[in-house]
Amino acid sequence: MADRSVRTLDRSPALTPLLARGALLSPFKKAALDRPRPDAGHPGTRLVLPGVRLDLARLAAYERVCGFPVGDDSLPITYPHVLGFPLAMRLMTDRDFPLPLLGLVHTSVEIVRWRPLTATGGYYELTVYVEELTPHRRGTEVAVQTEVRDGEELVWESRSTYLARHRRDPAVGTPRGGAGFGDEREALPLVAEWRLCGDLGRRYAAASGDRNPIHLHPLAARLFGFRRAIAHGMWTAARCLAAHGAPPSAWVRTEFRAPVLLPGTVEYGADGFGGFELRGGGRVHLRGDVRGV
């Protein structure tokens, strides 16, 4: 890992101005991507936010929209992503961040929960940084690392990847081998069918703060090539994990393979051994695995 400066924040960044800033800078960054530089860098700053105490009303809204039990003192395994999201946006809307925010697609998330986190257990410290940029056959992929500490103890961490699509040499592949879940895997046994309402993206945005326009309204989604608004990738992951469950100490790997259009109907499948998926219309939207650590 390259040397990083540490910047300690005194509050969580406000998302609305960050999203506006990201939208304004996106056309310039997109134009620069079409003239790629092999030495393009990224922000080397490690953002730290100490003294994070949970907003219980916001947590309850998140639990309701994602299907987790409301009022349970144990945090949903995906919720720390919401806490770290404003810091990630701070980094990804920086002028030095080379990828445009608009159209950036969440492609995967890997989570390790070292032990359960509680809603009323005190204060946590968040750390977020951009780990690396890598070439992808469809553009450039960035990895963002989020860490949660209770005192000095690392209790939760995640690695999310996001893809910016742009012109690239056709010979360039995905260095990490891409998916990690082979396309040849048979469909997992059907467990449930979920009907998703048209305002799901707006409801999740209100609970999570992620107001990317592709999730909020069909007109905005069409600007980025989608016929209708699409569900947040982290909502699909959270909804599957709410149904599946996870051990107190757990590793989760989820890959977002195809968008979920809203409104719509999806099928949730699981194999009883840690594998799960979301599918519909002949497509696999999400594949994941859960293991104890």
Alpha helices in 8-147 (DSSP H): 15-33, 56-66, 79-92
Q: How far is CA 273 from the centre of its chain?
A: 24
Q: What is the pLDDT of residues 231-288, one digit of tens each?
A: 999 999 999 999 999 999 999 999 999 999 999 999 999 999 999 999 998 999 999 9
Q: Is the peptide bond before 189 cis (omega within 30 degrees of 0)?
A: no
- Give this prediction's pTM: 0.90
On whether the CB atoms of residues 26 and 101 are closer than 8 A, the answer is yes
CA–CA gap between residue 98 and residue 92 (Å, rounded): 8
Q: What is the pLDDT of residues 59-96, one digit of tens each?
A: 999 999 999 999 999 999 999 999 999 999 999 999 99
* 263 token code pair: 């409104």
CA-based torsion, 241, 242, 244, 249: positive or negative: positive
Compute, in degrees rounded to 10, the torsion defined by CA atoms 29, 33, 36, 38.
70
